Structure 1
Amino acid sequence: MKTVIAGAGPTGLLLAGDLAAAGADVTVLERRAGESNLTRAFAVHARTLEQFDARGLADEVIATGTKVTRLRLFGHVSVDLGALPSRFDYVLITPQYNVERVLEERALKAGARIVRGTAVTGLRQDEDGVHIETDQGSYAADYLVGADGARSGVRQALGLDFPGRSAVRSLMLADVRMSDPPADAITVNAVGSAFAFIAPFGDGWYRVFAWDRGHQVADDTPLDLAEVRATVRAAFGTDFGMGECRWLSRFHSDERQVARYRTGRVFLAGDAAHVHSPAGGQGMNTGLQDAANLSWKLAAAGAGWAPEGLLDTYHTERHAVGKLVLRSSDGLIRLALLQSRAARLGRDVLANLALHLPPAQRALTGTVSGIGIDYPHAPRQADIALGDKRLYELLREGRHVLLSPQPPRGYSDRLVHVPYADCVLVRPDGYTAWNGTHGDLAVAVRTHLGDSR
């Protein structure tokens, strides 16, 4: 199976690594000619770390960052992640380029090719494949995945609208060093018209988001560090000794989602399919979950055993999650940017009261971390010990894991069997495809894994 992936960000690289490891011929087209280590994302949530664990990558990614067990949302409101039902009961603060480096090394080692300085400009498809036009030539593939960001060339070539709105305008972004940095790993506050957020990269640099309600200008308006300093001082009473600066930028945060994640042999994932506010740090994580959902389904199609309709479940499962993340991030950013002191005080009081209720805390931490997000017919499967290995270690083979008293015949190419008293079939992305009785096992396996060989 030949697959072309547009975009060498985290979403495209995870997908490339999975497909190449499954034996697919994978080419990644990246519009950037060179690599950039200046990126906006820096939070890796628990469910994403579980996906990395299922690929043997979690420890390497964790070593690059800082673990934060409390996530500050706004004002004095924070949530404790220590109760998450996961081995990764925290959010990892690490810049996106560390995640990309680990995923790129894996993809290249598995045999994927990355072609830089190449952007998709057009496509046509039929029942046999996809013909892809780029500014550097053409490619033919069985499937094409657009993971090429908010300005996706693949989405534009499909002629799909990207409906939505701008959630926050004129955000200032800076990477700086500080002589007197804040003590907390994540520091956030809003006072009057000023809002600021600070997080460490772990290498002496700090990422600063700043926003001034009274100074909303176009993205291309020149920005200097003095303006960032002034906004941070207004929010915190200090600029923490901001000194050397390696990056300054203005941007606006959109909330948009494409109506269809699949059009024939072409799929959209990550920011090409959905964008939303940075509140909660869910952007990169949602894209990585898209890739984890899609990769094994494409691999099954390439191997010839995918049950009818399997590829369609990518849209039905992930579009609903994208919509949920848009709603939750929109709510968080609106609460964070409340204007009046009275409104912010009321928000903090009510939020703290609500977060003392276990169901409310579980709902919030589960949504933001991804741990509480299930699919309609496939709930998340928690990691469990199975003899001398854990379930997520067994998922590293990229196949389904079947727990049952006896294995079915003819499916060794598609599943790993573990003797177990109960019957549970776990998908390669760590969600439960089926659980039931041994008498129903043959039908269940054939339904989810196709005919035996």
Structure 2
Amino acid sequence: MDPVIIVGAGPVGLTLALALARQDVPSVVLDEGPGKDEPRLARTVVLGADTAALMERLTGVPLDAIGERWAGWRSMRRKQVMREITFSDTGTDTADDTGPAPVHVAQHVLTGALRAALAEERLVKIAVDNRLDAVEQEPSGVTAHTRGPSGTWWRGSYLVGCDGPRSTVRKLQDIRFPGRTAVERHAVAALRGELPWDGHAVLHRMPPWRTSGPSAGEVTARPLPDGVWRLDWLLPPGKDLVTPDLLVARVRETLAGWHGGTTPAYELLDTGVHTVHHRLARRWRVGRVFLAGDAAHLLGAFGTQGLAEGLRDADNLAWKLAAAWHHGGHEALLDSYQTERRAAVSARLRAADQVLPLLRGGGGIRAYVPGAARGHDALLTDGHLGRGPLGDPGTYADSPLAPGPLEGEVPVDTAPGAPVVDVRVTAEDGSFVQLRDRLGRGALLVVLIAPGTGVWERKHWVGAGLMPRLAAAVTALPYPTELLVAESYPGAAAHTVLLVRPDGHLVTALSGVRPADLYAAAEAAVGGAAERAGTEARAGSAAG
């Protein structure tokens, strides 16, 4: 079968190529550039627990080696500390408010790690200096034409546009991209120097050294490795030119404000202006052509990370394309990509639009409501840390892949459709691994919660209790599945059985071994139930 054609060699396109390769699907990445990324320390990404685990799993590179795992977060207003959070050292999920620490990494460094991993991958071809200019579809595949020194025709099974905000793929498919322009603008500077925050990211609203006007609003400092910091200043509405002199003045003023009036020594490494747009493509799938990342959506107000959503797009789409590539069909499964991901991003955009007047409107009665400032800081913190409606990874509760009511379904602390908690599990070879390490292999995961198994060798319990019956039920499932065992899971009683999708979202939790329920849930999770329902509906319509 022909490879998947990926248009665009940014982080999302490279991630998709690696994710497909890990599931034995070949791909061709069409890169309109020379295959190198310009070092820009003013362009960075903050990765939460799920996207950080995805990057580490695909690249094999610990993010602590290329990024900065924040020690904590501090939210300030004028001279007052509104909120301070200290993160766990491990970077894994915790039950308290601290949560896992985000990792801050320069985008070109992240892309470099992806390129290095792809250089060792035999299933991926990166074609540089190839700019897409035509796409043709047939029932059996896709043909793409590129121009440039190496321009030619390319044949693929599917094509995914990861080619950014001005996506050629989106334009060739005549997909509308409505939304709002310049929702926010930020002046950005990357510098090396000592700040008094010791590895903590800081959001400072209405700093006391700026006394009037919209420009007094907000500055954020986020640490990077090697003593580097990225500083962002929220700019007033409008298109006023941000000159180098203005940026230098802003840097010196801010550093002096944080150091008691004296500007410390620093080295300015990079600058820029970051303009946030909010847009959402009307369609993310046209036949065998898909959109992902900035080609499908733009968001990023209030510190939310648009690239993180693009990485989630790639994770969601990869296993579905792999299923279709290996097994054929799976139209309902492929359709679910647009349904799930577009709904998740749309919810983020709606949340941002709802709070935008509240947080950026200024003045008015809201300024005098008791507790309003603290509430605003909490909302902004959620956006920056990837929490709450402004920042969480999103759930697929209304997915067409969700199973219907199951007799044996029980609640756990993870809602169906939400990302699972990263607990330690025992794999089939007896090794202890993290649950997220088993994702992205194209298989469903069945996790039995069995307290006490962690202190015994696998050979002592693999044939005891529920295990033989559960292993038989797993063998009978209609899709490749891996059986794992965990000592505990938040909110789960002993002998609870979790069914997890290849991208780490919970399908269901069942009380004990229930082969019929487990089969029904697995069939729904890979689109079989929706496919069958659609076939029956078409047959009924034709008969009528």
Corresponding residue SS for 2:143: strand
Following TM superposition, by how much is the alpha carbon of 1:59 offset from its aligned partner in structure 2, in angstroms? 6.1
Q: What SS does structure 1 have at the residue aligned with 2:20?
A: helix
What TM-score does the superposition give when structure 2 sets the normalisation length? Answer: 0.71
2:8 corresponds to 1:7: yes
Match of 1:149, as an amino acid? G
User: 2:18: which partner in 1?
Assistant: 17
Separation in structure 2 between the aligned mates of residue 3 and residue 10 of structure 1, nearest angstrom: 17
Identify if the C-alpha distance between structure 1 residues 276 and 345 changes in structure 2 by more than 3 Å, giving closer, same or farther. Answer: farther
Matched residue of 1:260: which SS?
coil
Structure 2 residue 116 is matched with structure 1 residue 105? yes
String of CA shifts for 1:195-240, please: whole Å, max 9, x gaps: 33222322233322224427x436xx5731x201334566676385
Aligned to 1:432: 506
Q: Deviations over 1:233-261 (max 9, x none)?
A: 66676385475434333342211110111
Within the candidate set 358, 375, 382, 2:421 is matched to: 382
Partner of 2:471: 406
SS of equivalent to 1:209: strand
Q: Which moved more, 1:363-372 or 1:85-94?
A: 363-372
Distance 1:367 1:71 in 2: 19
Equivalent residues in 2 for 1:309-388 (5 A)?
309-330=332-353, 337-340=360-363, 349-350=371-372, 352=374, 365-368=387-390, 370=392, 373-376=395-398, 377=402, 378-387=417-426, 388=432
Q: CA offset at residue 334 of structure 1?
A: 5.3
Q: CA deviation at 1:5?
A: 0.9
Q: Give the AA of the match of 2:38.
A: S
Structure 1, unaligned stretches of length 5 or more? none
- What are the ranges of 5 or more consecutive residues in structure 2 without an aligned counterpart? 207-211, 403-416, 427-431, 449-469, 487-494, 529-544
What code does the residue aligned with 1:46 have?
A
Secondary structure of 1:187 counterpart: strand
CA contact (8 A) 2:74 2:85 kept: no
Task: Please name the residue that 1:139 is paired with.
Answer: 154
Instruction: Pick closer, same or farther for the CA change 1:248–1:151 going to 2, 3 Å.
Output: same
Q: Which residue of 2 aligns with 1:35?
A: 37
What is the one-letter code of the residue matched to 1:108? A
In 2, Cα distance between the equivalents of 1:255 and 1:450?
31
In structure 2, the CA distance between the partners of 1:199 and 1:391, relative to structure 1 (3 Å rule), is closer
Q: Equivalent residue of 1:310, what SS?
A: helix
Q: Equivalent residue for 1:65?
A: 67
Aligned amino acid, residue 43 of structure 2: R
Q: 1:91 to 1:351 in 2, by over 3 A?
A: farther
Aligned pairs (5 A) from 1:53-452: 55=57, 60-68=62-70, 70-71=72-73, 75=77, 77-78=82-83, 80=85, 82=87, 86=93, 89-111=100-122, 112-136=124-148, 137=151, 138-168=153-183, 170-178=185-193, 183=198, 185-191=200-206, 192=212, 193-194=214-215, 195-213=218-236, 216-217=238-239, 221=241, 223-224=243-244, 226-232=245-251, 238=257, 240-241=263-264, 243-304=266-327, 307-330=330-353, 337-340=360-363, 349-350=371-372, 352=374, 365-368=387-390, 370=392, 373-376=395-398, 377=402, 378-387=417-426, 388-395=432-439, 397-403=441-447, 405-407=470-472, 408-409=474-475, 414-418=480-484, 421-436=495-510, 437-449=514-526
TM-score by length of 1: 0.84
Q: Measure the CA separation in 2 of the matches of 1:168 and 1:49.
A: 27
The Cα shift of 1:315 comes to 0.5
- Number of equivalences: 442
CA distance in structure 1 between the aligned counterparts of 2:200 and 2:485, rounded to whole angstroms: 44
In 2 relative to 1, CA 346–117 (structure 1 residues): closer, same or farther, beyond 3 Å?
farther
Query: Which stretch of the first structure deviates more once superposed, 268-277 or 176-185?
Result: 176-185
In structure 1, the partner of 2:539 is: none
Instruction: Provide the C-alpha distance between the structure 2 equivalents of 1:354 and 1:281, rounded to a whole number of angstroms.
Output: 15
Kindly report the root-mean-square deviation, in angstroms, between the aligned alpha carbons of the 2 structures: 3.6
After TM superposition, the structure 1 stretch with the greater mean CA deviation from structure 2, 78-87 or 176-185, is 78-87
Give the deviation of 1:418 after TM superposition: 3.4
> Which residue identity is paired with 2:518?
L
Amino acid at match of 1:171: H
1:340-373 deviations in Å (ceiling 9; x for gaps) = 49866759x325369899xx99x98244553564
- Deviation, 1:322, is 0.8
Relative distance call for 1:341 and 1:212 in structure 2 (3 A) is farther
